[in-house]
Structure formats: C-alpha cells, structure tokens
Amino acid sequence: MQRLLCLSALGNPEPMYENTRHNAGMIMLRMIKNELCRNLPLKQSTVSPHIEYCHDPKLNLVMLFNRTQYMNLSGHAFIPAWRKLPHDTFHVVLHDELNIPTGKVQFRKPGTSFRGHNGLRDIIKMKGNDDFHKLGIGIDRPNSKDPKVVADYVLSKFTHQEILQLELEAFPRSLEHIRKLLP
C-alpha cells in the first residue's frame, strides 16, 4: 500500500493576514485542495484544536490547515496531529520562502536548512527532528535586510500581479511536485 501523504501549510490565522506573503503556504495548499479534493469538506481535528483537515482515501492524501495558531507556533498546531498519523507518513510542509522569487517554488528534502523560518523552526523543535520535506513558495525578498523591514514585507499583502504569478506559475509547479508523490 502507498504511504500516506500529508500536506501541511504554514501561515497566520485571522482575516488580517489573508493573502499576505507570509501565508503563501496556506494560499498554495488551498489551490491544491481545490484542484485535487474540491468536493471534500474541511473537518475540525479532534487531536489538535488548531487544525482543520480533509482526507481523500482514494489519493491516500491528507491536508492539514492551521486555523488558529500563529506561524511561529506551527509545531504546536501540527505535531499533535502528525503523531496520530501512520509512522511512515510522507510529510510535506508548504511555506513562504524569501530566498526564491515570487512565482517560483523549491522542493527540498529532509535535513535541509530551515533558512531562519520560524514556523519551520518550531516544527523541528516540537518534532525533535527535521524528517519532513519542504515546499518553499517564493515571495521574493525586500532590498533591506533590516529585520523590521523584512517583517513588514512578509506581513504585507500580495499585489494582484503577484497573486497571478502564484496562480499561473507557482501553482502548476507545486501541483507537479505533489502529483509525483501520489499513487
């Protein structure tokens, strides 16, 4: 039997963060859900109060959406749910990536750097290892490396043109990576 594939998306809750660069992982997972599992409802997890999920047994796929926990506490949201999945589950975390231009994606294997991403850092801390794959969704980087400028940038909303780049460039590439992992 094919291993279960679990897709988990990093992002911040609350309407004020919708369509921000920091929520690129959640934006992408919504697009993937709409393509692969459009008719499946999201259900509230009984394991983690922060998680809504959908499960498609035909695809052997589960998608986890963090609905109430902030990005920097992503491990607190996902790890309790991950621990209830089969031990050999193939985990992919979708997240925003400053080091990649908007519209591009990068699929990385376990053991690769979390590149200072606090959401990934918290998952590694809570899990005790980094035995999961990462799908970085490019959001580009501001010209300044000043932490305040970077924080303001990642919490700013995508422009209409950047949303189109996600839909027309990043989404097909992300879906291609995910389809390779499906039966």
Rg (CA), the chain: 15
CB 22 within 8 A of CB 154: yes
Specify which residues 5 forms β-bridges with: 61, 90
Active site residue 50: no
CB burial of residue 150 (10 Å; 0-12, 13-18, 19+): middle
Nearest partner of 57 among 135, 10, 1, 8, judged by Cα: 1
CB 29 within 8 A of CB 19: no
By annotation, the residues acting in catalysis are 22
